[in-house]
C-alpha cells in the first residue's frame, strides 16, 4: 500500500496534542507528503490513480466544504476527485453532538458515494484500553478498504448456551 499524506495545520496540531506524535514521524510513514495548499499536486487531478482516500479525523468544516463542492484546499479537492471518479472515499467524523447541518452534509455525501464512518467504536468486543477502542475504529476503516487486519475480535454471535 502506497500512502500519500495531506495534513492541514489543524491536523498537525491534533496529531501532536492527541497522539503525542511529531508530524515528522507521521510524514515518515507516507510515500509522499503534500502541503494542504498545493493545488499543483498530482492528488488534485482525477487522473491520479488513487484507489481510496480516508480523511481521519474529518472535521465538520471539511465535511461542509466537500458536501458543497468547495475545494478550498488540497484535501477537499482530492476527496472531490475521488467522488467524481467513483473511487472509495471514507470520511471519519468525530464531532459530537451533531447538528442538523452536520447530518445533512453527511447524508448528502453518503448519497453521492462517500462512506461515513463515525469514530464511534463498538463495545461488543469489550475493549480493556483506549487503544483497543481506537483499534476498533481503525479496523473498520481497514474493512472498508479491504485491508486485512487483526485489530479487533469480530462478533461471532452470543456464547453458546449449554443448557440446551
CATH architecture assignment, domain 4-120: 3-Layer(aba) Sandwich (3.40)
* Sign of the CA dihedral running 3, 108, 83, 9: negative
In this predicted structure, the answer to whether residue 146 has a pLDDT above a threshold of 90 is: yes
For 32, other C-beta atoms within 10 Å of its C-beta total 13
Q: What is the pLDDT of residue 78?
A: 98
Report the distance separating Cα 89 and Cα 85, nearest Å: 10
Residue, of 52 and 125, whose pLDDT is higher: 52
Kind and range of the H or E run holding 76: helix 74-84
Q: pLDDT-based confidence at 161, cuts 50/70/90?
A: confident
Instruction: Provide, rounded to the nearest whole percent, the portion of the chain with pLDDT above 70.
Output: 98
Report the distance separating Cα 75 and Cα 4, nearest Å: 11
In this predicted structure, the answer to whether residue 163 has a pLDDT above a threshold of 70 is: no
For 97-108, how does the pLDDT look when each residue is reduced to its tens digit (9 = 90+)? Answer: 999 999 999 999
- Reduced to 3 states (helix: H, G, I; strand: E, B; else coil), residue 156 is coil
Poorest-pLDDT segment among 58-62, 80-84, 157-161: 157-161
Going from N- to C-terminal start, the domains of the chain cover 4-120
Task: Give the angle subtended at the CA of 103 by the CAs of 13 and 88, to the nearest 5°.
Answer: 70
For 2-13, how does the pLDDT look when each residue is reduced to its tens digit (9 = 90+)? Answer: 999 999 999 899
Main-chain phi, psi angles of 3, to 5 degrees: -105, 130
Main-chain phi, psi angles of 159, to 5 degrees: -60, 145
In this predicted structure, the answer to whether residue 164 has a pLDDT above a threshold of 60 is: no
Amino acid at each position: 500500500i502506497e500512502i500519500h499524506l495531506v495534513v492541514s495545520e489543524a491536523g498537525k496540531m491534533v496529531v501532536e496534542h492527541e497522539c503525542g506524535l511529531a508530524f515528522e514521524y507521521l510524514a515518515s510513514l507516507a510515500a509522499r507528503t503534500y502541503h494542504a495548499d498545493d493545488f499543483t499536486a498530482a492528488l488534485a487531478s482525477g487522473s491520479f490513480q488513487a484507489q481510496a482516500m480516508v480523511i481521519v479525523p474529518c472535521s465538520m468544516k471539511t465535511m461542509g466544504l466537500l458536501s458543497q463542492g468547495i475545494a478550498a484546499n488540497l484535501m477537499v479537492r482530492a476527496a472531490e476527485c475521488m467522488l467524481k471518479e467513483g473511487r472509495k472515499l471514507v470520511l471519519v467524523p468525530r464531532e459530537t453532538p451533531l447538528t442538523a447541518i452536520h447530518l445533512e452534509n453527511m447524508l448528502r455525501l453518503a448519497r453521492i458515494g462517500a462512506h461515513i464512518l463515525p469514530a464511534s467504536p463498538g463495545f461488543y468486543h469489550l475493549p480493556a484500553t483506549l487503544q483497543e477502542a481506537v483499534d476498533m475504529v481503525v479496523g473498520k476503516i481497514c474493512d472498508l478498504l479491504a485491508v486485512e487486519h487483526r485489530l479487533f475480535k469480530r462478533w461471532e454471535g452470543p456464547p453458546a448456551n449449554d443448557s440446551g
